[in-house]
Amino acid sequence: MTSTAHAPAHGTAHGSAHGPGDAHAPHRNYVKIWGILCALLVVSVVGPMLGIRWVMLITAFGVALVKAYMVAKNFMHLDIEKPIVHWILLVALALMVLLYGALAPDVQKGEGSGWKKDAGFHHSFVTSKPHEAGKHEKPENAEHGKP
Amino acid sequence: MYFCPFSAMRSGIFAGYRMLPLQRGVRLGPKAARLLYLTVLGGLTFLVIKSFEWTHEIREGFVLQSGGFWSYYYTAAGLHAFHVMAGMGVILWVANDAKKNQELHRVENVGIYWHFVDIVWIFLFPLLYIAK
């Protein structure tokens, strides 16, 4: 990276023939995209208020996927990148799912085939000092005391 | 709390607009710099809101050791805040160069980073504030 490099007056801002600074890059209405993102945010907040589990999953996390796609496509200009960039992204997503799938059972399950967590595991998960159990614990509704 | 994603998206839209002066084929570094400064302002808004929120939670007795959720909450939100702060610093650096029409390619690069951080928050928000 040179210290005096300037973006070309025409064409690209970073040297790629099909980069985001391409004069032929698709026109984007960023205000409209932002408006859609705000509307989706409202959906993701209101949806879970219905108290229906599958609605919550779709409105909170399904909408998050859509929002992430919109940001990547329109703000990160993924749609005009080379195909290999999409493949790299897909591989990263697959590895993330694999990581979650490998770790989640250990974290979320108390026992499995040939193993069982000892009593201290959940105890220490609740408080850092077993002899202070309950000291930091909130009442029953503490779970809903999320910010 | 629901204002947080608005502030993040507000800064995001400025970061999105950052490329317009370049896409129009004219060296409008100063304009890109102004939009980047607004992006930093959005990030700062996010951090101020977080600081008030954390202060409130800690005063209520919810600290890092209060349980699995709170451990995750402070770690994830804290790491995110560090990324926001780092991004703000780099954006300021890039904006100062862009103002002088120098290193304009960095405008796009820093924008991609900022939106990556934005996407992380898009998933953290339902995990920390919505899912019950």
CA distance B119 to A64: 9
Listing DSSP states for B50-76 in one string gives HHHHHHHHHHTT--GGG-HHHHHHHHH
ipTM above 0.85, yes or no: no
The residue written with tokens 């002088």 in the block is B100
Q: How confident is the model at residue A106 (pLDDT cuts 50, 70, 90)?
A: confident
pLDDT (0 to 100) of residue B36: 92
Distance (Å) from the alpha carbon of B78 to chain A's nearest alpha carbon: 14
Q: What is the pTM of this model?
A: 0.70
For residue A34, give the nearest of B13, B19, B102 by CB distance. Answer: B13
Partners of residue A146 in chain B, C-beta under 8 Å: 69, 73, 128-129, 132
For residue A48, give the nearest of B27, B63, B130 by CB distance. Answer: B130
Q: What's the pLDDT tens digit per position in A16-35?
A: 444 444 445 667 788 899 89
Partners of residue A64 in chain B, C-beta under 8 Å: 122-123, 125-126
Q: What's the pLDDT tens digit per position in B79-101?
A: 999 999 999 999 999 999 999 98
Which residue in chain A is spatially nearest to B107 when comparing CA positions? Answer: A13
CA distance A9 to B2: 41
Q: What's the pLDDT tens digit per position in B22-49?
A: 555 556 889 889 999 999 999 999 999 9
